[in-house]
Structure formats: structure tokens, C-alpha cells
Chains A and B, each alone.
Chain A
Amino acid sequence: MKLLLVNVGRGRYAVAADAVTRIIDPELEPGSPLLPGRTGDDAEAYPVLDLHAASGEMPRGSTVYLVLEAEGRRTAVPVDSAEEICEVPATAIAPLPPFIFASAPRLFRGLFHDPAGPRLLLDERALR
């Protein structure tokens, strides 16, 4: 499956590339109606998943927003950087044990290794 590799703080994540409907750089598109927090007639409201906060880190540096869409719902995910799209065999992705999560929803679907180390695969279906 095609995955977009992203970094958020010290976290290394990936998201299914076909779930990414748009990547917004606020510096390049300050007026995008898709930007979280924007108000106005053309603004769109949808949840933001802050992986910095979820991992207990403080946000840093410039942020790019991924707009993910799954099951008709949109979610914005701020990331520090988007590295590349790569093909990862489905058999290389190990499901995470559900009992490690403190509460629902589980944010991640699985774990795989790339040459630099382990990465978590975000579950865009759980982002609501």
C-alpha cells in the first residue's frame, strides 16, 4: 500500500496516501478555507488531530496540515514535515495489540520498519 511518511516531533508516522486529500502549507495558502481555525462563510469545520499534544510534546517549528478523508469525514493533522510516498507491502505492517491503548479510539493501525527505524501507521478511520 502507498503510504505518506510524516514526522511530528520525535514521532515517526505514516498515513495511507489515498486518504490524504490535500496538503496545506499555511504560509503558501494563508487563505485556504480548509485551514483549521479559519472562520467565514467559506470555512470548513472539521476536527484536528494534534499528535504533538497526544505524545506529550510541545509544538515546534512550521506546520503543514494534512487533510485526511475517510468514510466521508475530514480530519486535519498538523505535521512537522512530509517526507515521501513509498510503497509498503501489507504483509510488512504488524497490527498493534489493542490492549495497549488507554482509551478509544485507537489512533494507529499498525507498525512497520523503514530503513531509519519503526513507524506507526495512522488509522484515518479513527480520526473523528
Chain B
Amino acid sequence: VSGAPAARRLAFRVGATRAAVPLAVVREVVQDAAIIAVPGSHPHVAGVALHRGLALPVYDLARFPPLWSAEAGRRFAAGGVPRAPLLIVCAWGEAMVGLLGDEVDLLEGEAYELDADAATALSPVFLTGQVKGTAAGAADRIACLDVQKLFPSLGVPDEALRPAREDAGEDDPAGR
């Protein structure tokens, strides 16, 4: 939305494209996290990482077709996505969510503004459904992801239960 107040965002690279999420949902950025793939999980789930005692679901947005045009999706399916060395840990409701990324950068102040119309300029890389607008980065346009739409569409429930050691119930892997 042109003219909207500037917000602080964390920008990162997904494949060949820059994206950003609100800094308010970012808890930390982890380098070289040990991620293990989980057979039977959604294709866009890169795996899980043990993070502060929790099994953190890690999402690879490059493998999430609703975010991309068909052209970009074909390119990614062909294996054109470099491995992202950074894990961006976000809080969403009661859940923690990890996003794979690279080249993390902080966007703040009034050096950029959202421009919904400009989101279409990101095509054919990003589809606009998951993008709130764009911001001007140092060298390129950055797609500001709409986490209100993105995280639920990834399958993360709004009220996801954070597993608790004391009250894990049926999800207790030790069967206590």
C-alpha cells in the first residue's frame, strides 16, 4: 500500500529472489543449523531442526508452489535453488517456524515503502497472493511477504501447540 508507514523487516534471499518478513515475527537467525529431512512431510518442508529443545519445522519457500509463478516453479523443480545457509526463526502464534534463506539484511526507516502495484513487477518470480508489497533494497526490489497468509498456507496452524515437556500428552515421543 503506497504511503503506508514504514516497518522494520528482515530481508533475505530465496533462490534468486529477495523477500522480506516483518521483523516483529523474527526471533533469531541461525547459521548452519543441522536440519534433517522428514519422510512423509509436505514437499515444502525442508526438514526439522532441534532448536532450543524444540523440533523446529523448517520451510523452503523455493519449494512452495503457491508463492511462485509456473515459470519459476519449473526452474526450481529443475534444481536451480542453491542451498540456503541461514535459518530464520519466526514466531507465529504459539508455533516457531524456520525459513531457509541467505544474505539476510535489515530493512528499516523510511528508505522504502510498500507499493502493492509494484508487486506485479516481481512477476514472474513471485505471485502476488502471498506478497503484501515491495520494498526497495540496496540493489533490487524486495517482495514483502504477507505472513498472515503465508504461514497458514504453509500448513502452520494459528494456534499451533508448542510442545511442552511437562504436558506433551499424545505427542510425547517417549510415550510418558
Q: Which residues of A approach B to under 8 Å, CB–CB?
A: 1, 10-12, 51, 54-56, 90-91, 93-103, 106-113, 117-121, 123
Contacts and interface: CB of A to CB of B under 8 A. Distances in A.
16 contacts: A10-B37, A90-B173, A94-B50, A94-B53, A95-B173, A96-B48, A97-B160, A99-B156, A100-B38, A100-B57, A101-B38, A106-B40, A111-B48, A111-B50, A118-B35, A123-B173
A35 B54 CA distance: 37
A108 B36 CA distance: 12
A2 B160 CA distance: 30
B55 A96 contact: yes
State the 4 A-B residue pairs at the shortest beta-carbon distance, nearest first: A110-B173, A90-B174, A54-B39, A109-B173
A111 B49 CA distance: 8
Given A11-B39, A108-B40, 9 more contacts: A1-B174, A11-B36, A93-B174, A99-B156, A110-B173, A111-B36, A113-B34, A120-B38, A121-B173
B45 interface: yes
Given A101-B42, A102-B42, A90 B176 contact: yes
Contact of B36 (A95, A99, A106, A117): A117
Interface residues of chain B: helix, strand, loop or mixed (majority): loop
Contacts of B57: 97, 99-100
Contact of B172 (A95, A98, A103, A112): A95
A10 B36 CA distance: 9
* Chain B: interface size category: 20 to 34
Contacts of A109: 173
Greatest chain A CB density within 10 A among B50, B157, B174 is at: B174
Contacts of B37: 10-11, 55
B98 to A, nearest CB: 11
Interface stretch (B60-68, B108-116, B131-139, B163-171): B163-171
A102 B36 contact: no
B49 A118 contact: yes
B61 to A, nearest CB: 15
Interface in B79-127: 95
Given A11-B39, A102-B40, A118 B34 contact: yes
